[in-house]
């Protein structure tokens, strides 16, 4: 039976138990047997081809988006909301901050967006095309971005208000689609936000990201949180149904999806701990995996990568080898991976579709710097029995960098503040003119006839804006130099 992969977008990885339960039952009723959670905190379901149209029809009742097939055109918004209260955080980044930002974003973007607090370790901050990272200033965010042609991050030398994040995402998304240059992106965003432009200090020092144990039952404040991981990343309907119902019985309103394809449930009170332990036992869910099992990044439905991980883990276990902190990926795309080390499997000499030759490359992120997506080869074209000794050597280099040298990094801006100010001054030389009646809209003055205040950018006007004289639509206005109008 042919199956089609569906991704259900869960903004910020936050899902109500009642919704998860209903979606799971809906999919199971149409032939889905297992459910996975993706590295961008989405729900992944494989549905029989014949049932897809019915699934689409039934799914309309839920206030979330869904994408189908292999060439997904949209990407879930990642957030570190799940880390609040259970991990260190920036003092002003409370639950409501994340929820207000996520509620404001009404469409799933075609670019990868991350909204995170750098002080936590469970959600990696820099796997997006645009990454908002909480600053030490209340309600202000640092921005790190990359373009279609640029893998490494660029740090913008200004801060973004929480209320402007949606606007910045939309603008950057359009620029990204058109493969705009970094300078064009930076200047456009600065112009868009010129009335609220807050100069940023240097990029905060960024430490090498460490692995965080996201499994098990842990106490925080006067409550507990439970992390559930499945070795094959698959949950069945019975497991999800029981999990959601127990949340509902205990008035737990949120289930959190992690980038590790696992779940976290918070707000568990001590009196109900035995109920949660009973659930794990009933469904044969192992809650005591070793770190060497948990610190891997495997692509969705990659059975060869899963088998390779199993082989390497056994090798590590036999040698009682320490892998503290390090994150190892297999066949990850460099641009959006948060692995420190990546193993690339190379298949060749096929016979009847079966590879007759298999070799491996091992690469590592340059200097293990999380702001760089440049991966350097450590060894190439090696056999499977050479993987473990090579990995051990590279992991020891990582341990030296993190635990002995205590290395930190920053991201350098590609454009100076002087250049940004020059761009802002230049922008003030332009107005927007109706080609029919020659009426001019000047952002400096706004449009009193339509109650549009001064210093309102033309880009901020509603798409329904019309010329105040002849009612020509906004999209027909032409950007013109004020000097050509005889205006200064």
- List, by residue range, all CATH 2.20.28.10 domains of the chain: 428-485
pLDDT-based confidence at residue 402 (cuts at 50, 70, 90): confident
pLDDT in tens, 62-107: 767 888 766 678 999 999 999 999 998 999 999 999 999 999 998 8
- List, by residue range, all CATH 3.30.413 domains of the chain: 291-409
Most confident of 105-114, 291-300, 400-409, 441-450: 105-114
Q: At 212, is the secondary structure helix, strand, or coil?
A: coil
What CATH fold (topology level) applies to the domain 428-485?
Answer: Rubrerythrin, domain 2 (2.20.28)
pLDDT score at 195: 61
Predicted model pTM: 0.81
Domain formed by 3-75+210-282, architecture: Alpha-Beta Complex (3.90)
Q: Which of 446, 467, 468 is closest to 455 using CA atoms?
A: 446
pLDDT-based confidence at residue 172 (cuts at 50, 70, 90): very high
Q: Is 92 exposed, middle or buried (0-12, 13-18, 19+ CB in 10 A)?
A: middle
> By the 8 A CB rule, do 282 and 275 touch?
no
Question: Domain 291-409 - what CATH class?
Answer: alpha beta
In whole angstroms, give the CA distance from residue 180 to residue 200: 23
The answer on pLDDT for 133 being more than 90 is yes
The answer on pLDDT for 235 being more than 80 is yes
* CA trace torsion 238, 13, 147, 337 (10° rounding): -50
In whole angstroms, give the CA distance from residue 21 to residue 30: 15
């Amino acid at each position: 039976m042919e199956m089609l992969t569906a991704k259900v977008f869960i903004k910020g990885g936050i899902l109500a138990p009642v919704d998860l339960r209903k979606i799971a039952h809906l999919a199971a009723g149409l032939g889905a047997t297992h459910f996975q959670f993706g590295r961008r905190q989405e729900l992944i379901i494989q549905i029989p081809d014949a049932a897809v149209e019915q699934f689409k029809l039934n799914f309309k009742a839920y206030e979330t988006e869904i994408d189908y097939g292999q060439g997904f055109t949209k990407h879930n918004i990642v957030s570190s909301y799940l880390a609040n209260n259970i991990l260190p955080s920036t003092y002003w980044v409370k639950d409501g901050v994340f929820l207000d930002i996520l509620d404001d974003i009404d469409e799933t973007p075609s670019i990868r967006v991350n909204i995170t607090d750098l002080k936590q370790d469970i959600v990696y901050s820099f796997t997006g095309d645009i990454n908002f990272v909480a600053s030490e200033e209340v309600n202000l965010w640092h921005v790190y971005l990359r373009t279609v042609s640029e893998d490494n991050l660029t740090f913008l030398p200004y801060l973004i208000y929480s209320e402007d994040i949606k606007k910045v995402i939309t603008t950057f998304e359009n620029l990204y689609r058109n493969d705009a240059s970094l300078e064009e992106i930076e200047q456009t965003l600065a112009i868009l936000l010129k009335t609220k432009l807050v100069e940023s200090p240097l990029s905060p020092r960024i430490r090498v990201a460490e692995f965080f144990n996201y499994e098990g039952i842990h106490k925080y404040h006067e409550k507990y949180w439970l992390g559930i991981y499945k070795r094959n990343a698959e949950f069945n309907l019975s497991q999800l149904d029981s999990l959601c119902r127990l949340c509902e019985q205990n008035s737990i309103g949120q289930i959190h999806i992690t980038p590790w394809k696992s779940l976290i449930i918070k707000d568990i009170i001590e009196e109900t701990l035995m109920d949660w332990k009973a659930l794990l036992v009933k469904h044969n869910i192992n809650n005591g995996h070793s770190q060497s099992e948990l610190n891997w990044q495997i692509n969705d439905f990659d059975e060869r990568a899963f088998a390779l991980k199993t082989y390497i883990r056994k090798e590590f276990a036999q040698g009682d080898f320490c892998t503290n902190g390090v994150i190892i990926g297999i066949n990850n795309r460099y641009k959006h991976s948060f692995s420190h080390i990546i193993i690339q499997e190379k298949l060749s000499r096929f016979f009847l579709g079966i590879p007759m030759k298999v070799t491996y490359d091992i690469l590592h992120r340059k200097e293990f710097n999380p702001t760089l997506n440049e991966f350097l080869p450590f060894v190439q074209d090696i056999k499977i029995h050479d993987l473990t000794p090579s990995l051990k050597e590279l992991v020891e280099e990582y341990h030296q960098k993190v635990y002995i040298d205590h290395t930190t990094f920053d991201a350098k801006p590609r454009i100076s503040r002087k250049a940004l100010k020059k761009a802002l001054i230049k922008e003030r030389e332009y107005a927007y003119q109706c080609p029919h009646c020659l009426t001019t809209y000047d952002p400096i003055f706004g449009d009193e006839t339509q109650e549009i205040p001064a210093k309102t950018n033309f880009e901020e006007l509603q798409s329904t804006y019309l010329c105040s004289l002849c009612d020509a639509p906004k999209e027909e206005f032409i950007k013109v130099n004020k000097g050509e109008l005889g205006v200064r």
